[in-house]
Amino acid sequence: MLDSEPAQADPQSEARELLERALDLEYRFIFHYPRLSRLMPSPALAQRVQVLGQDSVRHAEVVTRLVAALGGRAIVPTVDPLPAPLDLKDLFCRQLEREKLGLYFHSTAANLASGELASHLRQIADQEQWHIRMTEEILAALDKPGSPHPE
């Protein structure tokens, strides 16, 4: 009977679902980068936050196109409010988790995809690896009282 056949995992649908989750993750924080950059204790840290924000916008654009190409739905952005009062260390600990989750979504989707789609996703996954290192550097700099300049 057709009704009792187990649903086959379709790699394209799985990849699309992962990318929809990646996009939701980006949108939840994407609007906060400009303000967060202004709140950083040094120009060097502010610049790192700007880079994270610019890449986030670029990733959201690329992933939106890829989701559409895979037949996915348009995402309605959800924005998470910034915590108040704002604790920068706590915020960047959460940022680190977001970057790691982003890496997981993009690299898992890349493994399910092929051709040009897979190569776009691997590029984004590489950039998420870099964001993880950059976020760890921001956290390390925030941990050094009195020496806000990491360079």
Which residue in the shown chain puts its C-beta closest to Fe ion? 131
Least separation in angstroms between residue 73's CB and Fe ion is 23
Instruction: Please report how close the Cβ of residue 32 comes to Fe ion at its closest, in angstroms.
Output: 13
Q: Which stretch binds Fe ion (CB under 5 A): 8-16, 33-41, 84-92, 94-102?
A: 94-102
Shortest distance (Å) from residue 60 CB to Fe ion: 10
Q: Which is nearer to Fe ion, 53 or 72 (CB)?
A: 53
Distance CA 65, CA 74 (A): 10
Tokens of 38: 């202004």
Which range of residues in 6-14, 40-48, 69-77, 128-136 is near Fe ion by CB under 5 A?
A: 128-136
The amino acid occupying position 15 is A
| The two structure tokens encoding residue 149 | 């300049």
Report DSSP letters for 51-116, one per residue. HHHHHHHHHHHHHHHHHHHTTPPPP----PPPPSS--HHHHHHHHHHHHHHHHHHHHHHHHH--HH
Residue 131 lies near Fe ion (rule: CB under 5 A): yes
The site for Fe ion (CB under 5 A) is made up of 99, 128, 131
